[in-house]
Amino acid sequence: MERSRVIAAALIAVLTVTSVHSLTLPSAFRKGAIDEAYVEPIHPTPTDPVALHISVQDHLLLDRVDVRQIGTTFTVRVYWKEPAAGNTTSGPTDEQIALGTLGEGRYRVLIQSYCANRLAGTAHVSFEVRSESAPGSNGTIDDVSVTPEAPVAGERVTVHLSGHWPTAGYVRHIGMTRLSGRSITLDLYWNSPQGPVAQVITPYEYETPVRLYIPGTYTVKARVYLDRRLVDSAQTTFEVDWP
């Protein structure tokens, strides 16, 4: 009984620590599983062509795409096939799907990913089309970088993100970091100011460590959410050499 209490206390301590620091989440390995999905531009207007970006964890070949729209809801089915035997290229695989220009309103995209005609993963994306700019959309992220500048496989690097808000009072309540293959995704979630705040531009900085296991070209994708809504994104690439 005493041993069980010690283990439970240790688990609670770990959960308490990870709730206030950045989280590094492993991705489940399944051929055709959706690694991430998002639309660009982040804040489309009725004159902007909207594109859906999908990334899966493996090196796959696009077979076909089926896009259907009913009102403000899209259903997108993406069919992949595996490359020929002997192909040693590794993932992830990215695909861009045009959704067209859309009228004002809030839209939802239901995504289904199939590999060899078997459902491998699902995801959904919500976005809004409107004429005026969304709050926090004007350059919230200023820079994304990685140190050291010339890392080697097996080494730990630090991802740096800097940006600003138009006023004081913005509160970051969580930062999440995920490594999948050679893709690093950094998500910061913020809450809007509550009550009167100083009307001054307020910079912020955030950094998180990531250990890299394989050489090659890595992509860092940083995203900032305000009140659960994506308001800015940026990305950079860097090279990892053999040890």
10, part of any domain: no
Alpha-carbon gap, residue 237 to 137, rounded angstroms: 23
* Domain coverage including residue 198: 141-240
> Which residues in 144-172 are b (16+ Cβ under 10 Å) and which e?
bebeeeebeeeeebebbbebebbeeebee
Cα–Cα distance measured from residue 108 to residue 125, given in angstroms and rounded to the nearest whole number:
6
> Which residues are paired to 77 by β-bridges?
66, 112
- What confidence score (pLDDT) does residue 196 get? 92
Do 39 and 86 fall within a single domain? yes
Indicate yes or no: pTM above 0.85. no
Q: Mean per-residue pLDDT for 104-109?
A: 91
Residue 195's region, left for phi above 0, alpha for psi from -120 to 50, else beta, is left
Q: What is the rounded average pLDDT for all residues in the chain?
A: 83
> Are residues 161 and 206 both part of a single domain?
yes
- Residue 18 has what pLDDT? 33
Residue 124 sits in the same domain as residue 150 = no
Average pLDDT over residues 87-116: 88
Pick the last residue of a domain from 106, 129, 152.
Answer: 129
Q: Amino acid identity, residue 191?
A: N
Q: Which of 2-11, 112-121, 176-185 is predicted least confidently?
A: 2-11
| Residues 117 and 149 grouped into a single domain | no
Residue 25 maps to a domain: no
pLDDT tens for 193-234 read 998 999 888 999 999 999 999 999 999 999 998 888 888 888
Residue 66: its H or E element: strand 61-70
Reported as a single tens digit per residue, the pLDDT across 4-35 is 444 444 444 433 333 333 343 444 457 889 98
Q: What is the pLDDT of residues 42-84, one digit of tens each?
A: 878 899 899 999 988 788 999 999 999 999 999 999 999 988 8
Name which of 158, 61, 163 is nearest 116 in CA terms. Answer: 61
* Tally of domains in the chain: 2
Does 113 score more than 90 pLDDT?
A: yes
pLDDT at 42: 81
